[in-house]
Structure 1
């Protein structure tokens, strides 16, 4: 099912000019499943030229026609959900059911943003004199360079491609080398739906070289990135020289506050199911659990019980509930974070090591740590893996201070039956998104993004298209 991937430039699939390729591995088996092209600067120059020409053609297409094309892309993705999900599961190891859900969510982005293309409303401002007219119109920013992460290899690029196209921009998308196949299928759907040549371009290869080359080009006017905080900072520096419009969704370290009036057992079940989704490799994953001291035993006990009951394996295996980490870096990080926490006095309640029945692949048991001190590395660094640290609190102001103590601000979660507590905590958490008694936040119709070092701008919702538009003020005397 998995296949070698070419570059897609100017509406044509083709090889890199050097003939160089890179391997794509299945993280469940560590076997090579395909190869991607290793783009050269010459290939990137071709992509920039194609995107520039594609922008001139695509921006003149009416918003109604753009929307129709994007809805057609959504339909093709839904028709191909089984194929795309199998590719995704192979390259990431995520369970097939999760891969199908993500593929559907990617289609939703194209449908929603295709409809938003018709709803980019300007302004008419009353003039000070009868013979003047003041208007604000929105125009596409231009050519977009977009960089996506491997943990959601269809949804993340879909947010960028769909928003750019809806706004009338062209785009060069560079997916993560670990999981490029899902993004390639989105591009294939765009091609098959008749998106004009050059409006969408797909390049693969050495990430830092591609980023430097594209962002330094005068052709690119907008940069979008989903990745780690260090990567985001580097790209922001690159974009500053050209004063380019930037949006980025970076890392998080999602605090979860479980107040003593919440159903601790039910909250634990919800948290555990969400924490171990995609092996914990989710930017908005709940990753620091602050539980009221009166609820700790019930919450931690049930959380550990759920973790021990999860079936771990390759994403295409029957009944698997959690797959492997995406790469050996993630596996090593999980090991060291657990060791550090235990050395500082944390209790190991579940997991803590690679499964004994797996001698290949980047597997790690669903792991729960109890009574974790605040100075443990896992309470400070984003774990991005299947390790859940739980600690206690006794006072509202105390827990809010601890929850807001990090430079991250992507998502946070609250469990309570009190409208007062829910309202206060939602407003006091320093994050871009809050879930109250709910953890599945991402949806096409809502804005997704963070504050502080977790990024800038929003993807999705009615705000998502605006990061790809520039307002223009027009004053007319008649």
Structure 2
């Protein structure tokens, strides 16, 4: 399979002006995939910004139905190439081929959703009352926008950022993660084939310094970032210190799952094991703090232990279609997760399963359960971002809510109960931007996604995301003047 490694700027593939490159290793066996991924320089970023700026006036004035037609063609091309794009993602960060093409197809729905909204952003008007002023509010695109993707769901995150920007008439520069740049590098040919004019979408790669160049660029009007809270703060700081550009941040999570005595046990186990372990636990809103009411706790703990042990048997080479769970994204991520587990052991944390590397090669961590850790231990408070859950018990609804909300994060949450009144009551009190009831939370193109507290600022997906790429303009007309004859 051929691998594209160049930057895509102004409608063409180009090498880095600095000659700097990134190396990508297959996390399944540590083999080198390529050492030729072009890392953008400051000059390359300036060129991308200049191309996007030049393309903006014509793109913003392109009729909504024409923008929609191009977006729909792009969605069709993503769907057609889902297998190939999935393979590139699997090679770079170990996402199993049983899952990777589905992530691509998921973003297809996102592009089609926003294509349906292109040209449909309405303004507002208010009649003159006693002040004699006719009032108009119109919503305009921001201009050149940029996005920085995390590595755990490249195609979904790219669609969340680019599709609403395209629908509202902005132009875009997208930076892939240095861990998983191959899938987005392949977008260039699809962007051209779909009919996007040169400069409307530009794709760059590189490490953190490239993201810093985007966040601090004086001619970029908006930046959308997905990643850690620490880097999110840096992005926001750079945006403030440069031109006060608009910022949206989708950051980390340490999401709770609350399982009440009257919950369907098999359903709760399924979503706390197989659903959680999908993508090797590398999902920002996955419920890694499992809170179980005392009456059902013994049965749940025994069942979840069995489920995690079975999941370990389904871990392996991500290129094999029947593999459900693959390795972590790279050696750095593997060392981070294993560091958490090692620290937990030193603190006397009790492990029911996992906690050890599987095999001699690759970055595999076995599905791991931590039982009743101290609420101040790092394995309980910090985002591990791996196949690791903690299980704690609670007595009452009030205690469950107190435990669930005792975190600096507020991205995801899940409630398991057969009492719909309790489910809605708890959902209203949980401090999180998303809530799943009797199911692990799943994103939808129709609904906004984002977090409370230190899990981020702004929203992606749904109609809310359109607002992130628009700015209101208020126009007042004095209706009291008489026309000159």
- Quote the Cα distance in structure 2 between the aligned partners of 1:429 and 1:130: 44
- Quote the Cα distance in structure 2 between the aligned partners of 1:127 and 1:27: 65
SS of the aligned residue for 1:96 comes to coil
Instruction: Look up the match of 1:30.
Output: 30
Q: 1:270 to 1:251 in 2, by over 3 A?
A: same
CA deviations over 1:256-290 (Å, ceiling 9, x no partner)? 10011112232112210121110000011111000
Q: 1:403 to 1:130 in 2, by over 3 A?
A: closer
336, 340, 343: which one aligns with 1:340: 343
Say if 2:319 is the partner of 1:323.
no
Instruction: Look up the match of 1:260.
Output: 261
Instruction: Look up the match of 1:352.
Output: 355
CA deviations over 1:317-341 (Å, ceiling 9, x no partner)? 2421100001223222322323333
- Quote the Cα distance in structure 2 between the aligned partners of 1:257 and 1:361: 34
Q: Is the 8 A contact 1:323 1:363 kept in 2?
A: yes
SS of the aligned residue for 1:119 comes to coil
CA deviations over 1:235-265 (Å, ceiling 9, x no partner)? 0001112211111100011111001111223
- Quote the Cα distance in structure 2 between the aligned partners of 1:20 and 1:143: 25
Please state how far the C-alpha of 1:346 moved relative to its aligned partner.
3.7
CA deviations over 1:65-88 (Å, ceiling 9, x no partner)? 111111111011111111111111
Q: Is the 8 A contact 2:12 2:188 kept in 1?
A: no
- Quote the Cα distance in structure 2 between the aligned partners of 1:129 and 1:196: 48
CA deviations over 1:201-254 (Å, ceiling 9, x no partner)? 11112322x233233322101010001000100000011122111111000111
Deviates more, 1:9-18 or 1:33-42: 33-42
Say if 2:396 is the partner of 1:433.
no
Q: Is the 8 A contact 2:151 2:177 kept in 1?
A: yes
Q: Is the 8 A contact 1:2 1:90 kept in 2?
A: no
- Quote the Cα distance in structure 1 between the aligned partners of 2:88 and 2:211: 25
SS of the aligned residue for 1:39 comes to coil
Please state how far the C-alpha of 1:2 moved relative to its aligned partner.
5.0
Instruction: Look up the match of 1:19.
Output: 19
CA deviations over 1:13-56 (Å, ceiling 9, x no partner)? 11111222111121112122123102211111111111111112
Please state how far the C-alpha of 1:364 moved relative to its aligned partner.
0.7
Instruction: Look up the match of 2:483.
Output: none
Give TM-score, length-normalised by structure 2: 0.95
Instruction: Look up the match of 2:214.
Output: 214
SS of the aligned residue for 1:276 comes to helix
CA deviations over 1:380-402 (Å, ceiling 9, x no partner)? 00110011111101122222112
SS of the aligned residue for 2:409 comes to coil
- Quote the Cα distance in structure 1 between the aligned partners of 2:67 and 2:354: 50
Q: Which runs of 5+ in 1 are unaligned?
A: none
- Quote the Cα distance in structure 1 between the aligned partners of 2:215 and 2:343: 39
Instruction: Look up the match of 2:225.
Output: 225
Instruction: Look up the match of 1:405.
Output: 406
- Quote the Cα distance in structure 2 between the aligned partners of 1:333 and 1:314: 21
- Quote the Cα distance in structure 2 between the aligned partners of 1:165 and 1:367: 41
Instruction: Look up the match of 2:123.
Output: 122
Q: Is the 8 A contact 2:98 2:321 kept in 1?
A: no
Deviates more, 1:143-152 or 1:435-444: 435-444
CA deviations over 1:144-188 (Å, ceiling 9, x no partner)? 121010000111111111111111111111110110122223343
Q: Is the 8 A contact 1:258 1:416 kept in 2?
A: yes
SS of the aligned residue for 2:61 comes to coil
Q: Is the 8 A contact 1:48 1:214 kept in 2?
A: no
Q: Is the 8 A contact 1:2 1:33 kept in 2?
A: no
CA RMSD, 1 decimal: 1.5
Size of the aligned set, in residue pairs, is 475
- Quote the Cα distance in structure 2 between the aligned partners of 1:199 and 1:16: 19
- Quote the Cα distance in structure 1 between the aligned partners of 2:47 and 2:190: 22
Instruction: Look up the match of 1:422.
Output: 423
Q: Is the 8 A contact 2:8 2:203 kept in 1?
A: yes
Q: Is the 8 A contact 1:2 1:181 kept in 2?
A: no
Q: Is the 8 A contact 2:4 2:185 kept in 1?
A: no
- Quote the Cα distance in structure 1 between the aligned partners of 2:156 and 2:20: 28
Q: 1:346 to 1:408 in 2, by over 3 A?
A: same
- Quote the Cα distance in structure 2 between the aligned partners of 1:452 and 1:249: 11
Q: Is the 8 A contact 1:373 1:391 kept in 2?
A: no
Q: 1:161 to 1:305 in 2, by over 3 A?
A: same
Q: 1:444 to 1:59 in 2, by over 3 A?
A: same
Instruction: Look up the match of 1:198.
Output: 199
Say if 2:84 is the partner of 1:52.
no
Say if 2:452 is the partner of 1:458.
no
In the TM superposition, what are the counterparts of 1:91-240 in structure 2 within 5 Å? 91-128=92-129, 132-208=133-209, 210-240=210-240
Deviates more, 1:129-138 or 1:15-24: 129-138
